[in-house]
């Protein structure tokens, strides 16, 4: 049986997983209501976080398909997948057109010499404009330096959620046969060379509680067998041996145990406990290693610390430094976009690709029962040719035209430079180059400025010279000076000073941040203060106090709004902001540089 290996790539929310789910259902590989996005956080957020493997059969051909994330923070998942497949399906929204992550994933695939199949999805949208989007895609191919054969890309029109496709705008939508026939026709068959020397390369890692570390591997040549003793080679030439204990291929969304697998297939291997992405697996010691898979570097960092607040240990199951360290070591086995510095005893420095990348890790840890606190995210500053440099991002914003002025003003203050501005039927699309420092903490402000109607997407570009001080936070912190339960009466007096993060009945402690102050100064308050009761009645003293809903502190929002001198305390049920030094005296001494 011939094998085809493809990856689905696109910007976030352009319909990758929906199309894969429709294909799997249409070909009978899965039953109804089964989705590639099976992780609880993925289902809640409606985005793909982890690259996943599946397979289906169509007209006597096995097709291995890899569904990749669309969010820029999980770009490391996409980069390594592209090295292990023979073709990509580039999904583009027929209304939005190419977006920042479209450019990122297309650039990576063109550099590897792949010829994409372009799928225009969501043609059922009222504002879909396939002719305009086709021209924009062609312009993007030319701009990214596509070769002549890559410019002659096949185009398929699709409505993913209905499971329909067609090859021409004049045709009728019937089923997915046009898309599947295009895959069989355009994707080159995987090389079949089972008799040659074994050459295989892992491009993803998984973890099983019984089998331990597992490697998702593309077999380029040769045959893999159960119980086989193998040589694992790094690109430095270092060689070690290992033995396969279990071997699986992909069948639909599940894995199927087999005795042997042949060149061209994608398999999952257990038994190689120290295997890592990009290493070469072979059956002969003198085989040359394959080119290693390189991943873009992280752009932000923050510290993970043991929670030492007055509420420490109340809700968490795993609270010690050793437990947090072990969990991060386990995460490093499968999350290649993450780096951790274990050198310091009290702080674990964690490096990631963006705020969402870190927030998803923290959300997973809290659900597993971990309790910890983290410092404010900082961008990674590098020195290149003797000059201090920082990461820059390209930001694309779609917003109703009446809100564009506020967006331009805010991003201008954060050192953003507008590179293009277009208007389409009352919606303005603006493109900015902005330091990552300027983007940190802006998303919640963006939602307010555009009344929730704006769409913002970003992608990492490169490191550029440092731009100096960036004006960002215009509000101060409202700090509790007492411990106890928050009272309705106290909040009634405080809500005029700024935005509150706590509701009546919430337990607080001294040094906890319970809101922000609109004038920008630090303000110590007593949210536990009750109304002074007397035996006398007077008109006007018993009026009803109306409170505005509190701004709930979530992990992502906390990472955005926290100050440099604050920690975000994360437990299985709560997220709280607190000062690093809980007492006013401690904060004043720290400000003066007094350490003892």
Instruction: Report the topology of domain 476-591.
Output: OB fold (Dihydrolipoamide Acetyltransferase, E2P) (2.40.50)
CA distance 477 to 518: 9
CATH fit for domain 199-282, picks 2.40.100.10, 3.40.640.10, 1.10.357.10, 2.40.30.10: 2.40.30.10
Instruction: Please check whether residue 200 is in contact with residue 277, taking contact to mean a CB–CB distance below 8 angstroms.
Output: no
With residues binned 3-state (H G I as helix, E B as strand, rest as coil), the percentages for the chain, rounded to 5, are 25, 30, 45
Beta bridge partners, 208, equal 212
For residue 292, the 8-state DSSP code is P
pLDDT at 572 (0 to 100): 92
pLDDT at 101 (0 to 100): 77
Q: What is the CA radius of gyration of the chain?
A: 27
| SS3 label, residue 505 | coil
For residue 46, the 8-state DSSP code is T
Spatial CB neighbours of 126, under 8 Å, sequence gap ≥ 6: none
Instruction: Please check whether residue 236 is in contact with residue 249, taking contact to mean a CB–CB distance below 8 angstroms.
Output: no
Burial status of residue 260 (CB atoms within 10 A of its CB: 0-12, 13-18, 19 or more):
middle
* Of 395, 399, 401, 398, residue with least CA distance to 417: 395
CA distance 142 to 148: 9
CA geometry: angle 569, 454, 471, nearest 5 deg: 55
Going from N- to C-terminal start, the domains of the chain cover: 2-186, 199-282, 382-465, 476-591
DSSP letter string over 527-548? TTPPPPP-S---TTSSPPPP-P
pLDDT at 444 (0 to 100): 78
| SS3 label, residue 245 | coil
**Angle (deg, nearest 10), helices 177-186 and 16-26:** 100
Beta-strand relationship, 2-10 and 61-67: parallel
Distance between alpha carbon 574 and the CA centroid of its chain, in Å?
22
* Equal CATH topology for 2-186 and 382-465: no
Q: Give the mean pLDDT per block of 10 residues along the chain (596 residues).
A: 86 84 84 64 70 85 84 71 86 87 82 89 89 90 87 90 88 88 88 83 82 86 87 84 89 85 88 84 85 77 90 88 90 82 87 86 91 90 86 87 89 89 84 88 82 81 85 80 88 86 90 86 86 64 74 87 88 90 84 68
What top-level class would CATH report for the domain 2-186? alpha beta
Task: Give the pTM.
Answer: 0.81
pLDDT at 120 (0 to 100): 92
pLDDT at 84 (0 to 100): 83
| Distances 394 to 72, 460, 550 between C-alpha atoms, Å | 11, 7, 33
Task: Say yes or no: domain 382-465 is CATH 3.40.50.720.
Answer: no
């Amino acid at each position: 049986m011939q094998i085809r290996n493809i990856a689905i790539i696109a910007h976030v929310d352009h319909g990758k997983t929906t199309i894969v789910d429709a294909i799997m259902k249409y070909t009978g590989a899965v039953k109804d209501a089964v989705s590639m996005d099976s992780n609880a956080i993925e289902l809640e957020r409606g985005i793909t976080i982890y690259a996943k493997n599946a397979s289906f059969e169509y007209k006597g051909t096995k097709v291995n398909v890899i569904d990749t994330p669309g969010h820029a923070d999980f770009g490391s998942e996409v980069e390594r997948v592209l090295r292990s497949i023979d073709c990509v399906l580039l999904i583009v929204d027929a209304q939005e057109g190419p977006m920042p992550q479209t450019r990122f994933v297309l650039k990576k695939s063109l550099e590897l010499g792949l010829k994409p199949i372009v799928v225009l999805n969501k043609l059922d949208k009222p504002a879909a404009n396939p002719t305009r989007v086709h021209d924009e895609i062609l312009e993007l191919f030319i701009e990214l330096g596509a070769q002549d054969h890559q410019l002659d890309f096949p185009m398929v029109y699709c409505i993913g959620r209905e499971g329909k496709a067609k090859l021409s705008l004049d045709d009728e939508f019937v089923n997915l046969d046009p898309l599947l026939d295009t895959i069989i026709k355009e994707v080159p068959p995987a090389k079949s060379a089972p008799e040659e020397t074994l050459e295989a390369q892992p491009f993803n890692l998984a973890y099983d509680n019984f089998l331990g570390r597992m490697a998702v591997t593309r077999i380029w040549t040769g045959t893999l067998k159960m119980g086989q003793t193998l040589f694992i080679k790094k690109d430095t030439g270092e060689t070690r041996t290992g033995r396969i204990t279990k071997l699986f291929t992909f069948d639909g969304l599940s894995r199927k145990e087999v005795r042997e697998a042949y060149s061209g297939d994608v398999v999952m291997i257990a038994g190689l406990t120290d295997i890592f992405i990009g290493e070469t697996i072979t059956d002969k010691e003198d085989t040359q290693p394959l080119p290693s898979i390189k991943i873009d570097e992280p752009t932000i960092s923050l510290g993970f610390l043991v929670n030492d607040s007055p509420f420490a240990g109340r809700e968490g199951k795993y609270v010690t430094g050793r437990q947090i360290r072990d969990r991060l070591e386990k995460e490093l086995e499968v999350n290649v976009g993450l780096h951790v510095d274990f050198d310091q005893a009290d702080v674990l420095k964690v490096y990631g690709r963006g705020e969402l990348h870190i927030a998803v890790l923290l959300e997973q840890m809290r659900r597993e029962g971990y309790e910890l606190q983290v410092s404010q995210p900082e961008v990674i500053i590098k020195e290149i040719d003797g000059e201090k440099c920082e990461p820059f991002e390209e930001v694309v914003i779609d917003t109703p035209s009446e809100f564009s002025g506020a967006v331009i003003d805010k991003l201008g203050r954060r050192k953003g430079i507008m590179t293009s501005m277009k208007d389409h039927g009352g919606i303005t699309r603006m493109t900015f180059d902005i330091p990552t420092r300027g983007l940190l903490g802006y998303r919640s402000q963006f939602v307010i400025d555009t009344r929730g109607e704006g769409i913002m997407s970003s992608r990492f570009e490169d490191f550029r010279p440092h731009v100096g001080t960036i004006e960002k936070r215009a509000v101060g912190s409202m700090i509790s000076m007492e411990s106890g339960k928050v009272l309705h009466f106290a909040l009634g007096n405080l809500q005029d000073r700024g935005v509150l993060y706590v509701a009546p009945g919430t337990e607080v402690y001294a040094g906890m941040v319970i809101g922000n102050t609109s004038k920008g100064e630090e303000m110590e308050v007593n949210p536990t203060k009750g109304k002074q009761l007397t035996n006398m009645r007077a008109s006007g003293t018993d009026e009803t106090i109306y409170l505005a809903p509190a701004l709930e502190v979530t992990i992502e929002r906390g990472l955005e709004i926290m100050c440099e001198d604050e920690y975000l305390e994360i437990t299985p049920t709560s997220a709280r902001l607190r000062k690093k030094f809980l007492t006013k005296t401690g904060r004043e001494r720290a400000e003066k540089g007094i350490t003892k």
